[in-house]
Amino acid sequence: MDEINYDDFRTAGKIASKIRKESENLVMPGGSLLDVAETIEGMIAEEGYKPAFPVNISINNIAAHYTPEAGSDAVFGDDDIVKVDFGVNVNDGLSDTAYTIDLSEKHGKLLDASRKALDAALKFIKPGVKVGEVGGVVEEIIKADGFKPISNLTGHMLRPGILHAGIDVPNVKTEDPYEFQEGDIFAIEPFATDGKGYVNDTDQVEIFSLYMPGQVRMRESRRILTHILNEYGLLPFAERWLHKECKSKLLLKNALKEMLRTQMLKAYPVLKEAEGGLVSQFEHTIIITANGVEVTTK
């Protein structure tokens, strides 16, 4: 295992926190999703860094993994529940944070449920606590408010350059035995819904990550693969980011298809609540300390 540079993770958190506050004002009825995503990615670039992953803007019953397509003209509706999820990459020190905005102003309780669950989880976590027990805390709080936690979405460990580093933090009680250790870095992200309590894949995929670089046959695929390796490493990227690298949309589609077929790429399908329920999410990145947590994205 490589040494962890905690200051890079702290810087990534601090920048994300600043942008998080500034970006909340960008989400308004009639506003363009693509504008918001590109503005946040631009704010990260202005700080001199790259996004840790594409800005996710998931609305209403979409729980996660949507980022606007290149040229998208989608706009926020008057009653949208908008989840903005993004992170910063500082020399492989990563942050991951998310917030929900209720444009309808009718679903405050749904937002409170996931916000309170996140606060409680952050207070509960310390060395020796099991990840499955955190799921119990999240589940209890969300259910006490009359909602359901999304059982197949989880928080996750982070490592330098790796967003999902193998250990998950469930949002429901499980027997998962991993115990938090001082120095671990995790993203905690409770999701609450008035629907079924789990998500399904949709057919749409806008976000990918390199899984195992290997041989590709098509010349365009080789070129794009090299670009992905150099620019994003193993971190997630958006199809939209590759548009300016490619002569045509079709060539890009075919190259991505080839890399998916040969299992070089992992796809992150857009995730939709099973019953079409509304979904709220709040997320922070933390470093486990001797007796609690340090929130890097506070």
Q: Could you list the active site residues?
A: 85, 96, 156, 164, 189, 283
**Least distance from Mn ion to the Cβ atom of residue 182, Å:** 21
**Least distance from Mn ion to the Cβ atom of residue 283, Å:** 5
Closer by beta carbon to Mn ion, 138 or else 252? 138
Residue 168 sits in the site that holds Mn ion (CB under 5 A): no
Closer by beta carbon to Mn ion, 53 or else 241? 53
Which of 75, 94, 73, 66 lies closest to 238, judged by CA?
Answer: 66
Chosen residue from 141, 169, 187, 265 binding Mn ion by CB under 5 A: 187
Task: Report whether 207 contacts 67 (CB < 8 A).
Answer: yes
Q: Is 295 exposed, middle or buried (0-12, 13-18, 19+ CB in 10 A)?
A: middle
Closer by beta carbon to Mn ion, 36 or else 187? 187
**Segments in the chain forming alpha helices (H):** 6-23, 33-46, 108-124, 131-144, 219-232, 249-261
Stretch binding Mn ion (CB under 5 A), from 95-103, 118-126, 216-224, 262-270: 95-103
Distances (CA, A) of 93 to 5, 53, 233: 7, 13, 13
**Least distance from Mn ion to the Cβ atom of residue 96, Å:** 4
How many Cα atoms within 13 Å fall on the side-chain side of residue 2?
A: 11
Which of 31, 25, 119 lies closest to 74, judged by CA?
Answer: 31
Residue 85 sits in the site that holds Mn ion (CB under 5 A): yes
Distances (CA, A) of 293 to 44, 87, 190: 25, 19, 17
Closer by beta carbon to Mn ion, 97 or else 174? 97
Stretch binding Mn ion (CB under 5 A), from 23-31, 168-176, 185-193, 258-266: 185-193
**Least distance from Mn ion to the Cβ atom of residue 34, Å:** 19
- Residue bearing tokens 């070129």: 223
**Least distance from Mn ion to the Cβ atom of residue 98, Å:** 5
Residue 96 sits in the site that holds Mn ion (CB under 5 A): yes
Stretch binding Mn ion (CB under 5 A), from 15-23, 92-100, 212-220, 266-274: 92-100
Q: Which residues, other chains included, contact 99 with Cβ-Cβ below 8 Å and sequence gap of 6+?
A: 20, 24, 83, 84, 281, 282, 283
Give the interface with Mn ion as residue ranges (CB under 5 A): 85, 96, 98, 187, 283
